[in-house]
Structure 1
Amino acid sequence: MKHIYLSLFLVLSASFVSAQIDTVQIDTVQWKSQADLGNCDDMSAYDGDTVTVKGVVIMDGAAYGSSSHNVFIQGPNGGPWNAIHLRDGDGQGYTEEIPNLFAGWEVFVTGRLSQYQGETQLEPLDGPSIKLVSTSNPIFQDTITAADLNDDQRNNILPSGEQWEGQFVRMENLEVQTVDFFSGGSRVSFVVKDANNNLVNVSDYFFVQKLPVYTHPTTNLNGSFSPPSVGDQFKALNGVVIHSKNDCPGESGRGYELHPFAASHYEYGPSAPRVSDVSRNPQVPASSDSVVVTANIVDLDGAVTGAVLKYRIGTDPSNTSFNSVTMTAGTGDSYSATIPAQGDGSFVRYFIEATDDSTNTTSVPSSDPTSSTYAYRVRDNGLTIFDLQYTPYSNGESIFRDAEVTVTGIVTASAAADDLGYVYIQDENQIGGWSGIMATQNPSLATLTRGDKVTITGTVNENSSRFTVLENVTNILSAGTGSITPTYFQPDSFTTYQFPETEMFEGVLMGLVNPTATGNGKVHIVDVNADAPSNFGEYRVGRDPFDPSNGTRVLAGRKSSTAFSSYNVSYVVDSSYFSSLLVPGVAISDTMNMDTLMGIMHYSFGSMKLLPRNNDDFMGINIFTADTTDTTDTNTTVFDYFFESPKFMEVFPNPAQDELYIQTQFNDEVHSIEFIDVQGREVFKRITNETNSTIYLNSFDPGIYTVRLIDSEGRRLQHEKIVIQK
C-alpha cells in the first residue's frame, strides 16, 4: 500500500506551489527567548502567518487515534526547537494528505501557524500543500527528563520544556502515580513521576494507547492497550511531547505531556502489584453501616505479600495520617477489609496499598493521597446534589463516579421547546456552589419544566469534556414544585478556571451582574469570539467594554457531544449559527450590553462558560442602532424580528503585508481607528474624518491585530481581527 501512496504524492507534488511564500526552518518558527518564556510567552513569532517548512515525518499518518489528521515532523538531526505538529482537525476536511504520510518521509509543508492551549500547530492549506522530497530518512530521538518539562505539581517549566514541544523523546526511570479513565471510561491516561516527584501525563493522542472499548471512528478497529497500575515502574517511556499550557495567566492545562505512538515505546521495569475492580458495599452508607471495601490484587512477576486499606475521616487532603486495616485474602485474587460505621455527614477518604515479594508497592487510586483517594459521604437521609459534586481534590471529579444514586432537586433548565434543551436540577436549600447537576439519558426527562421538584435515580459520570453528569436515569418521581434563587457574581470571577473557586458552580443557575461604576454598571459583550481565529460559538461578557480579556465565556447556538448550549438564544457569535436556531438570529457585537445575564454555569476544556437558556436570560439587553439618535432597545422579551449588526467598516486585504485599506460609513465625521495587538496594547491610532484610509504596515510586527472603529462620542462601533504577514 505504501507504494500507492508514494505514487500519489509524486503526482500531487508536481502541482505544489510555494512561490511568494518564504521557507523557514522549524527551529526558527519554534524558538523563543528565555526572557519571553520566563514571562509565559511561548507564542511563535510567526503565529497567524502562512509558512513553508521542511522536515522528516516522525510517525505514520495512520497512527493517530481519532478522525482528525495529525503527524509530527522534525528538522535535521532532531534536537531542541526542531519539531512541529501538523494538524487538520476536520476528519472530513480539505486534505487527505496527512494520513497518507509515512515515518521517514522528508516533506515540504505549507500551512498556517496557530497556537492551541500553548502548542504551536501548522495546519496545511487547502489543496496540495505537502510536497514529498525523499523517503527512508532517519528519525532522531532525544533523551530528556521529567524535570525538563514539569515540576512536582505538574506545572509546565517553559524555559526548559518549550524547546522539546513536538519532538520525539525518551524519558527514563519513571513510576506510575495515577491512572485516569475518562470519556465515560473509554479512554485512559496516566501520570508518571521521576525520583524527585516531577510529574508528566502520558496520554492517548495515538491509537496505540486506545482501550479495547474504544472504536476508531475511521478504521472501526478496537484498541488493545492494557493500562499500567499505580506503582508500576518504567525503564523508559518514549513518544512526542505535547504542550497543554498551565501555571500561566488564563491557562489551566495539564503541562507538557508525553504521547507514545508505538507499542515498543512502553518499556516496563519491575512490576508492582496490580489492583483492580475496587468496590465498596454499601455505596451510600448510613451512620449505622460499616463499609466493606473489596479489590482484586495480582502480581505479574511474583507474589502479593500484603495489602492494607487506609482510611481517614475529614475533607482536608493535606492530612495524611490514615488509619490502617489489613485486607484479608478471599477467593481467587480477591482481598477485602472493613471501614467501621461513621457518624451522619462524615466524609471518608480511603485508598489501598499492596506490596509484592520484591517490595514493590502499589497505591490506588494514587500514590499521593493529597491529590486523589476514593471517598464517600455518610448520609442517614440520602444523598444531596452537593454530595455528588463536592470534592476536595483539584481533578474536580465526583467521589460517587460510577455509582447509582438518588437525589432530589428543583429543575432550573429543561428540554422544553423554548428552554435550554437539557435538564439541570439543583438542591433546593443549598446556598452557593456544589449544588447543580445535569440529568440525561431518559426520554421522560423531556416532560419536566422549570420549577418541578423531582427525585431522580441515575449513575454519576464525568463527561468527555470533564464535567459531572447524572446519566442513565432509571427513575423520575415528582416531589411537587419549588424555586431556586440564582447565585450572582461579577463576570470577572470566571475569567479563568480556578479550583475550587469556579469549579463549585458547575451546573448552578447563575446571574452575572456589574455592581460597579466600571462600564456604567452594565454587563458588556467584550469579545465577540473568545477563540479567534477559531470559532466554537463562545463569546465573552465583562464589566469593562474596553477589556476583552476579563469576563465570563458565553456559549450559545452550538450543540455537540461536548457543547450543550441553547438553540433558543438569538445572540450568537456570527451568522454561521443562524440556521440551527429556533429563534431569530442576532450576530453579536461589542456595542451590546445588558443589566443581568442569566444561565447555567458549565465547565468544558479548561474553562467555565455560561449557558443562557433563552432570550429572557438577557435581561435589559440593548441593541445599538445604525441611526444617529443613539436610541437603545431595552426590551427584555424574545425578539420577533430578524436583526443584523450594522457594518460600519470594511478592512482589506486580510492577511495583509505592506498596506491595509479601511473603508468606513462615515462622511466627513471625525472617528478613530485603533490597532490592538494580542497583548491588548494599542500600537497604532489614527483620528480622521476621511471615509477611506490607507495604513502602511512597515512599522508593524507580523502577527494578529484587532482593528477598532470608534466614533467621535467614544463608542466602539466595530472591530475586526486581521493578520499581518512579512
Structure 2
Amino acid sequence: MKTKLFLVLIMIAGTFTLAQNYPHVSIRDLQFLPDDSLSAGRDASLHIGDTVQVTGVVMVSPVVDPTFDRRPIMWAGARWQTYLRDTNYAAVDWAGINIIQNDTSTAAQGTLMDLLDTAQVVTITGVVAEFSQQTQINVLTNPLTPIQFIGSKPDRGQPVEVTIADLNTGTPPAANLLSGEKYEGMYVIIRNVITSDRNTTNGTFAINDGLGNQIFVHDQSGYFTKRSHQLRTFDPPIDGTTIQYIRGVIGHFTNPSRYVIRPMYPDDLLIGQSPPSISNIRRNLDLVGPNDAVTITATITDLDQGGAVTEAKVKYRVNGGDLVELPMVAGLNNLWSATIPAVNLDSALVDFYLWAKDNDGMISLNPQDTVRNKYFYLVLNRPVTIYDVQYSPFGSGFSAYNNYRVTISGVVTADTSDLQGDGNQVSRRVYMQDGVGPWRGIWIGGLAADPLQRGQIVTISGLIRESNSNTMIDSITSVVINSNNNSLPDFVTVSTADIGTLPNGTISAEQYEGVLIKYLNVTVTDENADGNPGPGGGGNSNFGEILVADNSNVNTRVELQEGNHEYHNLWVAGLDTVPGNIRVLQNSTFEELRGILFYSFGNYKLVPRKSDDFVGYVSDVNDNITFVSEYKLEQNYPNPFNPITTIQYNIPKEGFVQIKVFNILGQEVKTLVNMNQAPGNYKVIFDASSLSSGVYLYQINVNDYQMTKKMILMK
C-alpha cells in the first residue's frame, strides 16, 4: 500500500457526517436488473438519477501517484475514474461498478478521489448515471462530499472466471444482455484465448475462443494503449498470439453494441506462444503508374525464444481477379520483400495481404481480416485526386495512400470560422472537396490549414493519414492558393438511413466522410442523443448532439457544438438566454439539414457549419389541438431584425403548409415551410444572412387559408 493511505486517513478526519442524508445502496442493488428488463433490451440501472452512497473495494488507482505523477491510469479525458468491487469477494455477478469524477478542478479535489489506492475499502457518494449503456456513479462535487475511508483489503482479490461466450456471442460481437450484463463493471479473468484485429494505432485488439466468440480489449488503461495517455511502451499482441489469461473490468460500448474487457495493470495480461510478427509493411512508390512494378517490404520476425520465420508470401489480385502468390525473400534485419509486376491498366485496383509461417508451424496474416482490411493501391495514368485518396472499397475506411505523400487540389468547403470545434476534445477543422458526390471531400490538418478560407481553390502537398478514423492530409509541405471566391460543390442529398448509426468503415456512410451532404424533411427524434434533455452534469450527459430521421425513420446524429451558428440543444445552462440563440426541440422539423460528415467517438455525424446550413426549422410549440381553433399567422419577432427572426403560426386542421418569403417586387427569395403538418401551434426560424436590408413579405398557404405580412431586415 502506498504512503498516500496515511494521507487519506488524515484528510478525511471529521468528514464522515457530510454525506449521511443520502441512502446507502449496495453495488448489487445499483446494478441488478430483472430478466424481463434484459429480455426487452433495457440495461439501464433502476436507480438512474438517484444520489446514493455505495461502499466497495477500489480496483485501480485513479492516478499513478497523487504527489509525483498525477497522470490517470484509466483514461477518461480530464476526469478521474476507478472501479469498485463488492466487499464480498465471493460475489460472482452484479458486483462491480464504474466510478467517475467529472470535475477535477482544484475546488473539487476535496472529494479525495485522486488519493484512492488499490484494495482500499471506501464509501463514495454520487449520482447514478448511464453512459454508453454502462452504469456509473458520478462522484458528488456539488455539494462537495469527501470519500470516506473504511479500511483496506490485502489485495484486489481473485477475479471472477468467465468465458467470452458469457459476454459476447458471435462475430462481429453482439451484446448478449441476458448473460453478460451481470458482469458489467466487474473484475474478471478470461483464459486460453487467441488474439486478432490488432490495431497498431491505438493498441486495441480482440480475443477469440475458437468457437466464433470474440470480445475486444479496450485501451482505456495507460498501460495498454498506444494513444496519448500511455504510461509505458506497449504494442498489442500479434494476431494469432495465444493468451494464457487476461484480467480486467467489463465495460460496454454502444456502436456496435458489445462488451469489452479493460485490463488495468501490466500484470493483467499473460502472453503465451506467438506466430510470426509482420510489421512495417511498405511499398516503394507513393504514386503507382501503369509501367511501375511495386516492391512490397515488411519486417517479419518470430518473437518466441528460439523461433524462426521459415516462409513468407505476398498474395495479391488485380481488379478482383485470381489470387497470385509471390514468395518473399529474406534480407538484412528481418526485412522481407517481393515485387508485384507492373499492371498496364489505368485506374486498376491492386489489393494484397502478407502471409508468414514459423518453425512451429504457426501462421500469421497481415491484415488478419483479408476481406475488409486488405492493403491496396491504385494504378493511375493521371494526377491523383481527392476521390482516389478517400476511396476505400473494402470497408476498412483506410486510404490506399495512408502514410504516403500526395499532391491534391480542391475548393475549401469549410474553414476555421465554420468548424470551430467543441472547445474540448474536437478541434477546429478545414475541409476541401473536388467535385460532387461520394469520396470527394477531405480534412486538411495542421496549422498550415488555418489561414485557408471558404471558396479558395487550393493545391496541397502532404502526408495522408488516419486521425480518429477520419482520413486527412497532414504534415503539409506546400499550399498553393490558385483562386478565391469560387462556388462550392452542391450538397449531396443523403438519406438518414445511409448514415444511421453504422459502424466505422461502412461504405454507405464512409463514402461521404468529409463531403458536403444534406438531409431533407427531417424530424428531431431526440434533442439529446446521449441523455435527457437539458444541460450535462449531475448524472446527465449532453455533448451537443441530436438525433434526426427522415421518411426512412432511421435515426442518425447531428453535432451542434462544433459549428459557428446559433442552434443548440442546451448542452450547458444559459444557452437559451443568449439573444439570437435557437434551441432545437424534440419533434421539431427541418426542411433541410446540411453540413459535412464527420466521424468521432464511435459515430458518423453531420456537422453544420453556419446558420445557413439549417433550412426551414419549424418548432412544434404546442401539439395539443384543443388550443388551436383558428388559422393564424403572427407578426414576426423581433421586427425589425438582423439577421434572424421567428414566425409563429396556428393551423386547426391538417394540411399542406407553405410559407414563403418575397422581396418588395414580389419575387420569391426563400421557402421556409413546404410540408404536410398536423393541427398545432408552430414556429419557423428565418435566417436572412444572405439577403440585403429592406422590406420583405412572408405568406402562408394552407388548405383555403392565405395570409401575408410585412417584415423589415436592417443590417
Output the TM-score relative to the length of structure 1: 0.76
Classify 1:59/1:594 alpha carbon distance in 2 versus 1 (closer, same or farther; 3 Å). Answer: closer
Higher strand share: 2
Structure 2 CA distance for partners of 1:14 and 1:46, relative to 1, 3 Å: closer
- In structure 2, relative to structure 1, the CA distance for the partners of 1:156 and 1:455 (3 Å cut) is same
Aligned twin of 2:651: none
Q: Residues 376, 13 of structure 1: CA spacing in aligned structure 2 closer, same or farther, 3 A cutoff?
A: farther
Q: Is the 8 A contact 1:416 1:446 kept in 2?
A: no
Structure 1 stretch displaced more, 56-65 or 417-426: 417-426
* Structure 2 counterparts to residues 217-228 of structure 1, below 5 A: 222-228=231-237
Name the CA shift for 1:467/1:577 in 2 (closer, same or farther; >3 Å): farther
Q: Determine whether 1:266 maps to 2:269.
A: yes
Which residue of structure 1 lines up, in the alignment, with residue 501 of structure 2?
A: 496
Deviations along 1:297-332, whole A, 9 cap, x unmatched?
A: 2222211111111122346xxx9x732111101112
* Alpha-carbon distance change, 348 to 34 in structure 1, aligned in 2, over 3 angstroms: farther
Matched, 1:99 2:110: no
Residue of structure 1 equivalent to 2:152 = 135
Secondary structure at 1:209's aligned position in 2? coil
Distance across 2 between alignment mates of 1:581 and 1:375: 53
Structure 2 distance, partners of 1:524, 1:193, is 41
After superposition, residues 41-190 of structure 1 pair within 5 angstroms as: 41-62=42-63, 64-66=73-75, 67-75=78-86, 76-77=88-89, 78-92=91-105, 94-95=108-109, 96-126=111-141, 127-136=144-153, 138=155, 139-150=157-168, 151-182=170-201, 187-190=202-205
- TM-superposed CA distance for 1:262, in Å, is 1.5
Distance 1:159 1:424, change over 3 A: same
| 8 Å Cα contact 1:570-1:583 kept in structure 2 | no
Matched residue SS, 2:6: helix
On the 8 A contact 1:458/1:471 being kept in 2, the answer is: yes
| Correspondent of 2:429 among 422, 427, 449 | 422
AA partner of residue 329 (structure 1): A
- In 2, Cα distance between equivalents of 1:583 and 1:326: 69
Query: Is the 8 Å Cα contact of residues 585 and 619 (structure 2) preserved in structure 1?
Result: no
Query: Counterparts of 2:600 and 2:234 in 1: how far apart (Å)?
Result: 26
Within 5 Å, which residues of 2 pair with 1:242-641?
242-245=251-254, 251-253=255-257, 255-300=258-303, 301=305, 302-314=307-319, 322-342=323-343, 343-366=345-368, 368-416=369-417, 422-428=429-435, 430-431=436-437, 433-443=438-448, 446-450=451-455, 452-464=456-468, 466-478=469-481, 481=486, 483-491=488-496, 493-497=498-502, 499-514=506-521, 523-532=522-531, 533-543=540-550, 551-556=555-560, 558=561, 565-567=562-564, 569-574=565-570, 576=572, 584-590=580-586, 593-621=589-617, 631=634, 639-640=642-643
Q: 2:19 aligns with which of 13, 17, 20?
A: 17
Give 1:536's aligned amino acid.
F
Contact 1:615–1:638 (Cα < 8 Å) also in 2: no
CA contact (8 A) 1:620 1:634 kept: no
Query: Does the CA-based 8 Å contact 1:275-1:296 persist in structure 2?
Result: yes
User: In structure 2, do the counterparts of structure 1 residues 419 and 244 end up closer, same or farther at CA, with 3 Å as the change threshold?
Assistant: closer
Residue 391 of structure 2 aligns with an amino acid whose one-letter code is: Y
Structure 1 pair 541/399, CA: closer, same or farther in 2 (3 Å)? same
Residues in 2 aligned to 1:83 and 1:35: alpha-carbon distance in whole angstroms: 21
Q: Distance in 1 between matches of 2:495 and 2:396?
A: 25
CA displacement at 1:584 relative to structure 2 = 4.5
Shift of residue 624, structure 1, vs aligned partner: 8.2
- SS of the residue corresponding to residue 6 of structure 1 reads helix
Identity among equivalent positions (%) equals: 26
Q: For 1:235, which of 244, 261, 265 is the aligned residue?
A: 244
Structure 2 Cα separation of the partners of residues 170 and 575 of structure 1: 39
| TM-superposition CA deviations, 1:147-204 (whole Å, max 9, x none) | 222222122222222121111111112222122134xxxx311122222232221122
- State how far apart, in whole Å, the 2-side matches of 1:12 and 1:500 are: 59
Counterpart-to-counterpart distance in 2, 1:578 and 1:111: 24
**Which residue identity lines up with residue 305 of structure 1 in the other structure?**
T
Contact 1:592 1:622 in 2 (8 A): yes
Corresponding position of 1:198: 213
Distance 2:420 2:30 in 1: 47
CA deviations over 1:440-481 (Å, ceiling 9, x no partner): 21436523332x3332222222223x2222222222234555
Give, in whole Å, the separation in 2 of the partners of 1:125 and 1:364.
Answer: 47
Distance 1:589 1:241, change over 3 A: closer
1:641 positional shift: 6.7
Bigger Cα displacement from structure 2, 618-627 vs 285-294: 618-627
CA distance in 2, matches of 1:462, 1:613: 22
After superposition, give the CA deviation of every residue in 1:111-166 in whole Å (9 maximum; x if it has no partner): 11122222111111112252222212552311111222222212222222212111
* Alpha-carbon distance in structure 1 between the residues aligned to 2:308 and 2:273: 13
Distance of 2:93 and 2:584 partners within structure 1: 43
User: In structure 2, what residue type is equivalent to 1:486?
Assistant: F
Number of matched pairs:
606
* Aligned residues: CA RMSD: 3.5
Q: Equivalents in 2 of 1:392, 1:194: separation in Å?
A: 30
Can you list the C-alpha shifts for 1:471-517, whole angstroms capped at 9, x where unaligned? Answer: 22222234555641211134465442352222322211112212xxx
C-alpha change, 1:136 and 1:552, in structure 2 (3 Å) is closer
Change (3 A) 1:84 1:416: closer
The alpha-carbon deviation at position 575 of structure 1 amounts to 8.2
Inter-partner Cα distance in structure 2 for 1:589 and 1:120: 27
1:164–1:442 distance in 2 versus 1, CA, 3 Å: same
Distance 2:24 2:575 in 1: 41
Query: Partners of 2:179 and 2:419 in 1: how far apart?
Result: 52
Distance of aligned partners of 1:576 and 1:57 in 2 relative to their CA distance in 1, 3 Å threshold = closer
Q: 1:239 to 1:417 in 2, by over 3 A?
A: closer
Q: Which sections of structure 1, spanning at least 5 residues, go unmatched?
A: 217-221, 246-250, 515-522, 559-564, 647-711, 718-726
Quote the Cα distance in structure 2 between the aligned partners of 1:277 and 1:624: 56
Distance 1:290 1:714, change over 3 A: same
Contact 2:493–2:518 (8 Å) recurs in 1: yes
Taking the aligned partners of 2:54 and 2:289, their CA distance within structure 1 comes to 64
How far residue 630 of structure 1 moved from its aligned partner, in angstroms, is 5.1
Please state how far the C-alpha of 1:355 moved relative to its aligned partner: 1.6
Q: Distance in 2 between matches of 1:448 and 1:351?
A: 41
Q: What is the rounded CA distance, in whole Å, between the counterparts of 2:408 and 2:80 in structure 1?
A: 42
Is the 1:206–1:259 contact (alpha carbons within 8 Å) kept by the matching residues of 2? Answer: yes
Runs of 4+ aligned residues of structure 1 deviating over 6 Å after TM superposition are 417-421, 577-583, 623-628
The answer to whether the 8 Å contact 2:494/2:518 transfers is: yes
1:3 to 5, 9, 13: 5
Unpaired runs of at least 5, structure 2: 65-72, 422-427, 532-539, 649-677, 684-715
Matched-pair contact (CA < 8 Å) for 1:273–1:355: yes
CA distance in 2, matches of 1:638, 1:624: 22
Asked if the contact 2:316–2:324 (Cα under 8 Å) also holds between the matched residues in 1, the reply is yes
C-alpha separation in 2, matches of 1:582 and 1:341: 63
3-state DSSP class of the match of 2:203?
Answer: strand
